[in-house]
A and B are shown apart, each in its own frame.
Chain A
């Protein structure tokens, strides 16, 4: 197959060079103003928007037309949170009812996505019936869809007719030999096709779908699952190609593979990447492509802000019992959105302001070459909420990871943690959970939180991670940079690169 690689060209941006915005909106640095306007209130596409806006997925699409080695079609579990897992498959009517109920209860709701648990475009009637009804009943909600791409070319026309301006395609490879190690089979033209031939067809259809969407002006995000030893190096090429074809964002996610998930990779012992491997690959792709780093790999029926799941509040029996004034709810959403957008814009303007001392700094500068300034880069983990250092160490179920340098604080990812201090339930396990958290923070030199207990303090220090509770309730970037400057002043940031970094 012929997949041309075009040299990536610098994109004109709104005044800040790509990768140098220094704020959490850094990920949007290379986007055009038009794209920026389209994604600014989408929690999955805009890193800073995800503090303000919420999304939900409705599980109307159970059928799938391919098999991926990281997916197990048998699983259906309320206690697991990962893509492809749902508790209850909905009919289109139920999905519409649920969306309207959630949008009436959570005014932050801006986006409704269909992401499975199978492939939305392998269930076109169910998917498009849901979209059709919602376009009429909740025209203010953006619709999006996430697909493996096999049927995509057949549905681009219909997608463009709905209120859909974003599509996500999962593209794990552009080489059929790599694909044959990821996809055991596809269902294509009334046959099950295995192996390399299957991968070749899938890749061709994904690329064709991507091109057709871009030609229609529909924004395309590409998701890739990083599978060590299978497609890790290859994803750099994938990133270049999808960028050249017009995808606006690349989201490289770590493989999730545990034996108990019953997936091929889980059972066969394929390992997941560690956080440093993920970050190194994202950094390597970043010169060519806007990289998404805040994906939480949510369930196919997730509800709420990223990183939280309020799905339990909206089971069908609970929704049936709700009384909802749809008109009033839409007004409340509009008011909330206006205020949140104003807040966000103010925050973005503030973050950009000190970065533009000279009026015209528009050329693309690769990140690696920029920081000739003193002081090495430091990874810091933050127990955060709403953009602030606001969570007790023991209550954090995730940490945001920032890379601090003379260029500013840059959001680079997140690490999941179990809450070791969870009242009286899990205290007996406290220590081992703490150990796991410390392991999850590998590579970070500082952890910022609102408060921290005496015991975890000691253990963190022993593990070479400096706890810091002095910046409680401060904005994350300010706190991270304050700590970085303290370290610099104390002579802790001399040239020695930190152990976990490659570049």
Chain B
């Protein structure tokens, strides 16, 4: 079992120092998780540390490819509101 960082990562460095397994490493274009080292923090912390500090919704996935911080969960912006405002900006 292992988590995965995907391209929406903004390279903010917050997760890397927290990883108990040193599984997270700097890479281009974004940080990555070494699947062989990642334990999802089982036995170390109640919550996966990278997931608990990551500020970007959708940037970390579980083994099933599910977003662990889904849209709206971190910013508090309802996804439909986000979509409506983006459409409005594009129409300007």
Please give the residue numbers on chain A whose beta carbons come within 8 Å of chain B beta carbons, in ascending order.
62-65, 67, 69, 72-74, 76, 89, 118, 122-123, 125-126, 184-185, 187, 190-192, 259-260, 264, 267-268
CB distance from A378 to the nearest CB of B (A): 38
A267 touches B52 (CB 8 A): no
B76 interface residue (CB < 8 Å to A)? yes
Chain A contacts of B18 at CB under 8 A?
Answer: 190
Choose from A118, A190, A259 the contact partner of B89 (Cβ within 8 Å). A259
Bound complex: CA A443 to CA B75 (Å): 35
Bound complex: CA A20 to CA B40 (Å): 61
Chain B contacts of A69 at CB under 8 A?
Answer: 76
B12 touches A62 (CB 8 A): yes
Query: Using an 8 Å CB-CB cutoff, how does the interface string of B48-78 with A read, 1 for contact, 0 for none?
Result: 0100110110000000000000000011110
Choose from B14, B17, B85, B89 the contact partner of A64 (Cβ within 8 Å). B14
B28 interface residue (CB < 8 Å to A)? no
A184 touches B75 (CB 8 A): yes
Q: List 6 tightest A-B contacts by C-beta distance, closest first.
A: A63-B14, A73-B55, A62-B12, A192-B52, A187-B53, A184-B76
Assuming the contacts A69-B76, A264-B77, asked whether A192 and B56 have C-beta atoms less than 8 A apart, the reply is no
Please give the residue numbers on chain B whose beta carbons come within 8 Å of chain A beta carbons, in ascending order.
10-14, 17-18, 45-47, 49, 52-53, 55-56, 74-77, 81-82, 85, 88-89
Chain B contacts of A187 at CB under 8 A?
Answer: 14, 52-53
Bound complex: CA A72 to CA B56 (Å): 9
B10 touches A259 (CB 8 A): no
B56 touches A190 (CB 8 A): no
Assuming the contacts A74-B56, A192-B47, A259-B88, asked whether A67 and B10 have C-beta atoms less than 8 A apart, the reply is no
Chain A contacts of B82 at CB under 8 A?
Answer: 267
Chain B contacts of A123 at CB under 8 A?
Answer: 13
Bound complex: CA A453 to CA B34 (Å): 64
A73 touches B12 (CB 8 A): yes
CB distance from B44 to the nearest CB of A (A): 9
In the complex, 30 of the A-B residue pairs with CB atoms within 8 angstroms, ordered by the A residue number, are: A62-B12, A62-B14, A63-B12, A63-B13, A63-B53, A65-B53, A67-B55, A69-B76, A72-B75, A73-B12, A74-B10, A89-B11, A118-B14, A123-B13, A184-B74, A185-B74, A187-B14, A187-B52, A187-B53, A190-B18, A190-B45, A190-B47, A190-B52, A191-B46, A259-B85, A259-B88, A259-B89, A264-B76, A267-B85, A268-B77
CB distance from B6 to the nearest CB of A (A): 14
Most buried by A among B10, B12, B45, B46: B12
A64 touches B12 (CB 8 A): yes
Bound complex: CA A74 to CA B57 (Å): 10
Bound complex: CA A262 to CA B77 (Å): 10
Choose from A73, A126, A190, A264 the contact partner of B10 (Cβ within 8 Å). A73
Choose from A63, A76, A260, A267 the contact partner of B77 (Cβ within 8 Å). A267
CB distance from A6 to the nearest CB of B (A): 35
Chain B contacts of A63 at CB under 8 A?
Answer: 12-14, 17, 53
CB distance from B43 to the nearest CB of A (A): 13
Assuming the contacts A190-B45, A259-B89, asked whether A67 and B13 have C-beta atoms less than 8 A apart, the reply is no
- Additional A-B contact list (8), CB under 8 Å, known A65-B14, A125-B17, A190-B52: A62-B10, A63-B13, A122-B14, A190-B18, A190-B49, A191-B46, A191-B52, A267-B82
Assuming the contacts A118-B12, A125-B17, asked whether A267 and B53 have C-beta atoms less than 8 A apart, the reply is no
Bound complex: CA A74 to CA B82 (Å): 14
Bound complex: CA A267 to CA B79 (Å): 11
Chain A contacts of B12 at CB under 8 A?
Answer: 62-64, 73, 118
B75 touches A67 (CB 8 A): yes
Most buried by A among B52, B76, B82: B76
CB distance from B76 to the nearest CB of A (A): 5
Chain A contacts of B74 at CB under 8 A?
Answer: 67, 184-185
Chain A contacts of B81 at CB under 8 A?
Answer: 267-268
